[in-house]
Amino acid sequence: MIERVKTGVSGLDSLVGGGFPRGSIILVSGQAGAGKSVLAGQFAVEGARKGEKSVYLTFEQEPDALRQQLESFSFGKDIAALEKSGKLLIARVQPEYLRLKGKMGALPDALFKARLNISEDLRKDLLKKVKETGAQRVVIDSISSIPLALPREFDAGFVKELIMDLADEMRALGITCVAISELGLSPEWLSRDTYSEFISDGVILLSLSTVGATSTRTLQVVKMRGTKIDAGIRNFEFTAKGIEVEAGDA
Amino acid sequence: MSLKDATISWYIQHVLVPSVEIIDKPGFIITRAAKKGSTAYLRVLFLPEQVFIRLEEAGKKDEEVERALYSAGKKFGATWANLADFPKASKTPRGDFLNFISFLVQYVGVTYATKASHKVDLDTKRFEFEAEEYVVCRRSGLGAVLGSGGISGIWASLLEEPRIEGVQATCRGRGDKNCRFICAPKKTLQAEGYAVLEEPDLPVQGASKEYLKMNQVRVARHAKNSLKTLLDSGIFKSKDGKMLYGEERYLLCESHLVYLLEEQLRGAGEERLLFDAAFDYGKALAGGVKQQAGQFLADYLSALGWGDVLVSKVCGKYRVSVDCYPWVEGGDTSNFTFFSGLASGALSVIANKTVRLRKKETSTTHNALGVVFEEAP
């Protein structure tokens, strides 16, 4: 019997057999403004409230900006208290490589050559925060930022290996992980890197269509290993409570 | 068929046709009409033959509808000729022009019929087009007034003579050996005893910069399947230059046609006919679909060129949002009746109740036409 963890998103659990399988990697993909960070925030806060230590790792957004965004919904009202109690950690991932790049503008050749050290630094930076807190839920916002956090010389195969290693370590630690991604540059790809959808155990696709004043947001569960999913396209809204998924599919 | 015609036919079927359509981009089908020194890009749609059969049937019972179909066809033929930048007779050496006509007849023959042939008399401005298995009338047995209009529109545009009209002299569907269309000045046709419909108001505008900009191919955000995907997976089939979905033939038409049909039928007070014809086909289309019907409909409509389609249900009511809907000049005030009928029919089967979609909002921001349809109460 697969243990399920509640997502905290109204209407989502029933589409995935009662919640995400514990210890699984779930890719949440969508275009900018589709609601990925809010969904992931609900997932993290829900865990913290239930006593599961949760870590939200952001590559690009400042933690304060994210806190402000999540606190605008009722689910985010007690973020400060959850952080204070140690149940929730919102942290920025900034590996040594990026810190150096920020200081120096360009990196010396010698650093480019130290590929393994740089990727190891990134991996450690991510896992350190996870292990230190004993997290049971982790959000990576976003997995599409990982290649950007590495020197350009890192080829796609190397980045793929790094993401696979991270996913394996998360699984081994029994962590349920939501990994956010931008959409692929071609419609058949569900992630920007084109392979995270295969590495992940589950994929949730968020869509946003804006025509004039009419915005339409939809959610679709594309896959969830070991789960009988409801793959219908469902409308969702941002309400005062956060994301709420409608019951009827199209 | 002469050796030259046979060579052209082979060339079109085996070399040209597979390369002229951009069919691998979800939401878009683009025809490239290339000629020396320029390339014209046309936003096209694959439309089900059954809808046209229904319209032709209605036209046989109502003269106003028949006139509206003829006018829509003629305006469409002329628009297509302009958009594709077909050579005008007055500006083209006679031999080159006649070669072009041979080429065009073979293209039309491959796309809309079989065994097409033609006769041209430039002095009397007469053009005859003959074919077997011509679309629509091959199944309705009623003739195709839309087709008469379409062929006369092309010929009138090439000759820059709005007073050229078209008639269907014989129809295979009625039991004649072939379908034969005659285009000539109205007086000539009347003198030969034909009842002639008339549409003297012909568009002369070619593809504007706006048309090219608004119909530019973009990456779809919702649609996953292109027509190529559906062809590769065997859901659609292409045989001898014709597109088939099950037993249904799909006609390749530049997107002005759906707007012109709506406009002309509305003028005749019969826009409902277009909605109903598309609605009934939509019902038949979704009949066999059991699971993820909304996704199926979005994929189907996107693959046939209607844009990036998202089907959802908001507060229990269907909403269909389309990004990059086929754009034509002045078309954003349209009701988008063909599309709304097709989608409404399919959703009615899926929902097991009558669903009627109506235009809610349009937008042309981001250099593309967006349209939202919502289920009427």
For B3-191, which CATH class? alpha beta
* Helix extents (H) in B253-325: 256-267, 271-286, 293-303
Looking at the complex, report in whole angstroms how far the Cα of residue A167 sits from the nearest Cα belonging to chain B. 27
Cβ contact B115:B131 at 8 Å: yes
CATH classification number, B209-258+272-375, choose in 2.40.50, 2.60.120, 3.30.1380, 3.40.50 = 3.30.1380
Q: Write down the pLDDT at residue B5.
A: 54
Instruction: pLDDT band for A113, please (50, 70, 90 cuts).
Output: very low
CB proximity B315 to A under 8 Å:
yes
Nearest CA among A9, A24, A28 for reference residue A143? A28
CB proximity B367 to A under 8 Å:
no
Instruction: pLDDT band for A216, please (50, 70, 90 cuts).
Output: very high
Give exposure, B190-203, as e/b (b: 16+ Cβ within 10 Å).
eeeebebbebeebb
Instruction: pLDDT band for B167, please (50, 70, 90 cuts).
Output: very high
Q: What residues of chain B lie within 8 A of the CB of A183, using their CB?
A: 221
Nearest CA among B129, B124, B178 for reference residue B150? B129
Q: Write down the pLDDT at residue A186.
A: 75
B126-132/A202-211 β-pairing:
unpaired
- Interface of chain A toward chain B, CB-CB under 8 angstroms: 31, 183, 185-188, 207-214, 216, 218, 220, 231-235, 246, 248-250
Q: Write down the pLDDT at residue A111.
A: 45
Which has more pLDDT, B156 or B57? B156
Distances B48 to A152, B136, B251 between C-alpha atoms, Å: 49, 10, 6
**Mean pLDDT calculated for residue range B10-33:** 68
Q: Write down the pLDDT at residue B112.
A: 77
**Treating both helix axes as pointing N-terminal to C-terminal, what angle do B271-286 and B49-61 enclose, rounded to 10 degrees?**
140
ipTM above 0.90, yes or no: no
CB proximity B119 to A under 8 Å:
no
Give the count of domains, chain A: 1
**Mean pLDDT calculated for residue range B31-55:** 82
Domain of A59 in residue numbering reads as 4-249
Contact call for B315 and A246, based on CB within 8 A: yes
Instruction: pLDDT band for A117, please (50, 70, 90 cuts).
Output: low
CATH 3.30.1380 domain span(s) along chain B: 3-191, 209-258+272-375
Contact call for A235 and B292, based on CB within 8 A: no
Cβ contact A8:A42 at 8 Å: yes
Amino acid type, B344: S
Q: Write down the pLDDT at residue B132.
A: 81
What mean pLDDT value characterizes chain A? 85
Q: What residues of chain B lie within 8 A of the CB of A234, using their CB?
A: 312-313
Residue A139 in this model has a pLDDT that exceeds 90: yes
Distances B268 to B53, B60, B323 between C-alpha atoms, Å: 18, 14, 30
CB proximity B45 to A under 8 Å:
no
Which has more pLDDT, A65 or A232? A65
Of A52-56, A148-152, B267-271, the poorest mean pLDDT is in A148-152
Element (H, E) at A217: strand A214-224
Find the largest Cα–Cα distance for chain B: 65
What mean pLDDT value characterizes chain B? 87
Which has more pLDDT, B223 or A48? A48
Instruction: pLDDT band for B238, please (50, 70, 90 cuts).
Output: confident
Q: Distance between alpha carbon A52 and the CA centroid of its chain, in Å?
A: 17
CB proximity B230 to A under 8 Å:
no
Q: What is the rounded distance in angstroms from the CA atom of residue B276 to the CA atom of residue A169?
A: 58
**Mean pLDDT calculated for residue range A62-88:** 95
A165-180, pLDDT tens digit by residue? 888 888 988 999 999 9
Residue B19 in this model has a pLDDT that exceeds 70: no
Tokens 């968020």 locate to A206
Provide CB contacts within 8 A for B344, sequence distance 6+: B275, B279, B282, B355, B356, B357
Q: What is the rounded distance in angstroms from the CA atom of residue B129 to the CA atom of residue B113?
A: 11
Provide CB contacts within 8 A for B19, sequence distance 6+: none
The enclosing domain of A206 has a CATH number of 3.40.50.300
Q: Write down the pLDDT at residue A108.
A: 46
